[in-house]
C-alpha cells in the first residue's frame, strides 16, 4: 500500500508542452518540403521548361491538321 501518489494536476499542460512544439515543427517541415521540393518548385520548373521550347504556331497547325477545331478545318479541305 506504499505506492507513490501519482501526478494529479497539470496533465493537459504537460501534454501540450510536449506535443505542440513537435506539431509545429512537423507542420513547418511538411510545408517547406511541399513548397520547395515536392510540389511547387518542380511544377514551376516543368512549366518553365515546357514554354522555353514552345512554338505556338507549330502547335496550332498540328492541332488544326488533327481536325479538332470547328472554326478552321484542316488545310486539305
Q: Give the footprint of other proteins on this chain (CB under 8 A).
A: 1, 43, 46-47, 50, 59, 62-63, 66-68
C-alpha cell at 52: 522555353
Question: At its nearest, how many Å lie between other proteins and the CB of residue 44?
Answer: 11
Question: At its nearest, how many Å lie between other proteins and the CB of residue 47?
Answer: 5
Distance CA 33, CA 27 (A): 10
Distance CA 46, CA 51 (A): 9
Question: At its nearest, how many Å lie between other proteins and the CB of residue 43?
Answer: 7
Distance CA 49, CA 58 (A): 17
Nearest to other proteins of 12, 22 (CB atom): 12
Amino acid at each position: 500500500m506504499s505506492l507513490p501518489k501519482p501526478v494529479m494536476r497539470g496533465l493537459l499542460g504537460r501534454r501540450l508542452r510536449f506535443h505542440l512544439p513537435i506539431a509545429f515543427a512537423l507542420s513547418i517541415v511538411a510545408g517547406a518540403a511541399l513548397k520547395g521540393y515536392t510540389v511547387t518548385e518542380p511544377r514551376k520548373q516543368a512549366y518553365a521548361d515546357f514554354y522555353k521550347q514552345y512554338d505556338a504556331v507549330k502547335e496550332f497547325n498540328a492541332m488544326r491538321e488533327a481536325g479538332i477545331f470547328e472554326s478552321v478545318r484542316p488545310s486539305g479541305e
